[in-house]
Structure 1
């Protein structure tokens, strides 16, 4: 329909974790978890980066490296 906005979602097709070979819930919740942790960890990582560069980079990369994949892969649909 024109003028209506849907719920933004992430879709991953070509996966073998379910019969439909598409995932919607896992990647969407993974992205939401990524966004929430990024809001907290990126400013903290930026402050730590001023003193310890590698540690700051690891903190800022944590949402993309750990949080999103774990949440996305935990939900098979």
Structure 2
């Protein structure tokens, strides 16, 4: 029995972007890019939110609305 941190694997089935109708690489890379972007942008967005509410919300939403979808679409498998 081994203990350790596993790599997150995300699977998206039912897509029409490839013949197998399942994507593994795109969603997994999208999640990892989302986590990195969120670690940077959420604290910055929280500080900006104090002074400019809508701008802070847009900064904090950026990983979910822009980063994840664009990285996920970049990989067809």
Q: Residue in 1 aligned with 2:13? A: 13
Deviations 1:20-54 (Å, cap 9, x if unpaired)?
Answer: 00000000000000000000000000000000000
Unaligned runs of at least 5 residues, structure 1: none
TM-score by length of 1: 0.92
Q: Shift of the alpha carbon at 1:8?
A: 2.2
Written as runs of structure 1 = structure 2, the 5 A alignment for 1:15-54 is: 15-54=15-54
CA distance in 2 between partners of 1:23 and 1:64 (Å): 18
Normalized against structure 2, the TM-score is what?
Answer: 0.92
Aligned length: 75
Structure 2 Cα separation of the partners of residues 17 and 33 of structure 1? 20
CA RMSD of aligned residues (A): 1.3
Q: Distance in 1 between matches of 2:27 and 2:18?
A: 14
Which segments of 5 or more consecutive residues in structure 2 lack a partner in the other structure?
none
